[in-house]
């Protein structure tokens, strides 16, 4: 805060706060756009080209897990089907699944699907996870548990039958990716804001106005601004409001 004592080098607090807000918002929007783009562009032919795993530990009878990565976005799909309608013991998490997937358990229904996504650029920054059960009962698939996903009511996948396989809009932060991306985006926002402010000041100067308060100086810039004290000797109060009796 030592820079605050020097009036010539004040930290533009408002600009920093706006930049940080834009940075975090930008991380979410970019991550959502990337995840959505990957979900829309994946085709069965994609899946066959990409890495896929099968692990016997995943389910006693029939289980498979697929993970693929496009443009840095990771998608995990774990499918387990069972004919036995009884609880199964907790199964260990296969090595290739990320830690946030947790263990795969317990299964008391026909079909289970876990899907998850990790999205963000340049680092993966947010994630979501969905656990579904497909039962033979009417009503179709049912969401058991979701984690870190937002499904806005206007989302296009809300009306799809298998909408729950969609990752939603992931928002659970992944560290350090979330911080790194936020700082990068905030720095870019700060740079843009600074350029915009400088351009605004430059246009005011060109029109012969005070670059700080836009008061019309009629191109007499050397005399400074009588309104806000810009370009005036420091003996005069700078930016001080006119006090009665002063
Ligand atoms: Zn002024």
Lowest mean pLDDT among 28-37, 51-60, 128-137, 219-228: 51-60
Residue 238 lies in a domain: yes
Q: For residues 77 and 82, give the distance between their C-alpha atoms in angstroms, rounded to a whole number.
A: 17
Residue 238 has pLDDT above 70, yes or no: no
Please state whether 214 falls in left (phi above 0), alpha (psi between -120 and 50) or beta.
Answer: left
Q: How far is the CA of 192 from the centre of ligand 1 (A)?
A: 24
Q: In terms of domains, do 170 and 48 share one?
A: yes
pLDDT per residue as tens digits for the range 163-199: 556 778 899 999 999 999 999 999 999 999 999 999 9
Q: Which residue has the higher pLDDT, 95 or 72?
A: 72
Could you say which of 151, 174, 197 is where a domain stops?
174
Q: Is residue 36 a contact partner of residue 28, using CB atoms and an 8 Å limit?
A: no
Q: In terms of domains, do 217 and 120 share one?
A: no
Q: How far is the CA of 231 from the centre of ligand 1 (A)?
A: 9
Residue 10 has pLDDT above 90, yes or no: no
Q: In terms of domains, do 150 and 226 share one?
A: no
Could you say which of 149, 174, 199 is where a domain stops?
174
Q: In terms of domains, do 127 and 220 share one?
A: no
Residues 6 or more apart whose Cβ sits within 8 Å of residue 38: 70, 71, 73, 75, 117, 119
Q: In terms of domains, do 211 and 157 share one?
A: no
Q: In terms of domains, do 105 and 146 share one?
A: yes
Q: For residues 47 and 58, give the distance between their C-alpha atoms in angstroms, rounded to a whole number.
A: 20
| Residues within 5 Å of ion ligand 1, judged at the Cβ atom | 210, 212-213, 215, 225, 227-228, 230
Give me the pLDDT at residue 246, please: 41
Q: For residues 115 and 218, give the distance between their C-alpha atoms in angstroms, rounded to a whole number.
A: 65
Q: How confident is the model at residue 83 (pLDDT cuts 50, 70, 90)?
A: very low
pLDDT per residue as tens digits for the range 145-165: 677 888 887 777 654 444 556
Domain around 169: 44-174
Residue 156 lies in a domain: yes
Number of folded domains that form the chain:
2
Query: Kind of pairing, strands 126-134 and 111-119?
Result: antiparallel
Calculate mean pLDDT across residues 17-36: 95
Give me the pLDDT at residue 110, please: 53
Q: How far is the CA of 21 from the centre of ligand 1 (A)?
A: 29
Query: Kind of pairing, strands 52-53 and 142-147?
Result: unpaired
Verdict on whether the full-model pTM lies above 0.75 = no
């Amino acid at each position: 805060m030592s820079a605050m004592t020097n009036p010539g080098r004040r930290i533009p607090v408002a600009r920093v706060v706006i930049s940080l807000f834009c940075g975090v918002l930008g991380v979410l929007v970019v991550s959502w756009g990337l995840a959505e783009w990957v979900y829309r562009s994946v085709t069965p032919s994609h899946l066959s080209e990409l890495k896929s795993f099968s692990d016997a530990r995943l389910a006693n009878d029939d289980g498979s897990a697929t993970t693929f990565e496009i443009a840095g976005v990771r998608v995990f799909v774990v499918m387990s089907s069972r004919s036995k309608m009884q609880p199964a013991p907790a199964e260990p998490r296969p090595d290739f699944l990320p830690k946030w997937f947790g263990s795969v358990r317990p299964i008391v229904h026909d079909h289970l699907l876990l899907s998850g996504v990790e999205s963000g650029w340049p680092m993966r920054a947010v994630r979501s996870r969905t656990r579904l059960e497909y039962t033979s009962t009417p009503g179709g698939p049912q969401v058991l548990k979701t984690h870190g996903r937002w499904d806005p009511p206007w989302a296009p996948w809300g009306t799809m039958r298998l909408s729950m396989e969609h990752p939603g809009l992931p928002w659970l932060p992944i560290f350090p990716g979330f911080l790194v991306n936020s700082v990068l985006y905030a720095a870019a926002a700060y740079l843009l804001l600074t350029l915009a402010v400088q351009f605004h000041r430059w246009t005011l100067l060109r029109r012969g106005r005070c670059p700080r308060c836009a008061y019309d100086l009629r191109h007499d810039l050397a005399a400074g601004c009588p309104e806000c004290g810009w370009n005036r000797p420091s003996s005069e109060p700078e930016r001080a409001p006119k006090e009665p009796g002063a």
